Amino acid sequence: MFARGLQDLGWEIIATDGTRAALAAEGITTRSVEDVTGSPALLGGRVKTLHPKIHAALLARRDDPSHRQELEREGIEPIDLVAVNLYPFAGAASKSSGVPLDQIDIGGATILRAAAKNYEQVVVVSRPERYAAVLDELKQRGGVSLETRRVLASEAFSHTAAYDAAIASRFATDAGVQFPDELTLSLRKVRDLRYGENPHQQAAFYAVRGEDGAMTQMQQIHGRATSFNNMLDINAAWRIATDFPQPTVAIIKHQNPSGIASDNEITKAYRRAFMCDSVSAFGGIVGANRIVTRELAEAMEGTFYEAIIAPGFDDEALPLLRGRRNLEILAVPGHAIVGGRLGSTSSRAARKDGETFDFKRIAGGMLVQTPDESVVDEGNFKVVTERSPTLEELTDLLFAWRCVKHVTSNAIVLAKGLATVGVGPGQTSRVVAVETAVRKAGENARLAVMASDAYFPFPDGIEVAARAGVTAIIQPGGSLRDAMMIDTANKNRMAMLFTGRRHFKH
């Protein structure tokens, strides 16, 4: 215990009433704040440490004669070390329907800031994880080095800033302000990454405080530390796989799916996803929304993968996967099948309408938006062609529409039997995206359906799909030439649905 270690080193400990009682139960003697200030706690304990005798003891510079004289005149003893655990606002906020005002720490945050400002004179400890290291340095050196004090001060200011950010965010949410004039972000480092986008770049993974996303709950079972690029692809694989209620597998390369498939068995889903583009699958990331079985682990043999992420792995699958060189095995055990689909079983701090923010970095700032988390809503889709899709086509169209949301724009997805057969990602021309998807699909393009993340500005993309044997299309619509697109589809006996919603992903 930190307090016991300080006491053993001969330190006098000053504590507020609650802390004094807890320490007294452990046999640790402390001096009360009221004894130091000569003033009782006010307003039911709201005002205890907000007193000149506390803050003068923290802020006084020992190398300034005038400061020393004032302390002596007022009978104030300097304070050499501050350790504060702030009220658990974030935890209380997650369980409260409103802002838990009594859990907003004023005195503790103020003490931390005062001590951190005077770090050359005062040791400030804002994180319990630092207790052991500080005690060890005190024992070994008889004091704490200036370098350590500077690091601790930095942590204290970061800690109070993050604390204030959580409070500001909750106030904004409670007030219904979705985009406040000053948006405060609080990030917590989860882990260092192996390297950045390239090996010469350093990188780390930070979580947005208050958001319990799958990547922050992810546990690495096996393999080397993840890299920046792998984290992006792992996230993409997980988001895609968990966007489907049926057993689904997504294989990702450079944040785009090389294959997605749903089936009644997870191994069948993997095999069909792999068949979409077996060449691009090499070196990719596999995401599954069901427990990985031995059968699935065996099906993956023969292809090099960087990582696999799933809700879990059965005991027979893990030995096979661990035997693969450099395979990162990642589990998200906090997620399970809920209400027919995969979702988090833990609470998630949310903004208005249950949405979290999506951030994209640009020079000098960030772009902030609500995420594209819309689900398929068949009631809003409109058949615009003379021929309506068959039930089989409609099932595949809905699957393809959910897939195309996860492909970089301009995006085209060809699907058949709840599996992608061709993906055309990230093209500057929509017709080229169609040509790419058709080329990858080959003969599998015949009797497939096509999803486009945005409208067709010209009929050439539809004509390319028709020549390849595509029978039905789903797209947002909204082009000035929509009538021409509909006419082209009718001439080729294709069914076409307009969704009224675009799914760009940049």
- C-alpha 163/C-alpha 85 separation (Å) is 11
- C-alpha 143/C-alpha 337 separation (Å) is 53
Residue from 48, 55, 254, 382 carrying the catalytic annotation: 254
**Burial level of 403, CB count in 10 A (0-12/13-18/19+)?**
buried
Instruction: Please report, as a single letter, which amino acid is at residue 295.
Output: E
Coil vs helix vs strand at 474:
strand
- 157 sits in which H/E element: helix 146-174
Judge contact between 418 and 449, C-beta under 8 A: no
**Of 93, 91, 89, whose CA–CA distance to 104 is shortest?**
89
Per DSSP (E only), the strands in 425-493 are: 449-452, 472-475
Dmax (CA) of the chain: 97
- C-alpha 253/C-alpha 241 separation (Å) is 14
Q: How many CB atoms lie within 10 A of CB 22?
A: 13
Residue from 51, 55, 95, 117 carrying the catalytic annotation: 117
Backbone angles phi, psi at 462, to 5 degrees: -65, -40
Would you call 117 a catalytic residue per the annotation? yes
Cα–Cα separations (whole angstroms), residue 201 to 195, 197, 198, 204, 253:
6, 7, 6, 10, 20
Catalytic positions: 117, 254
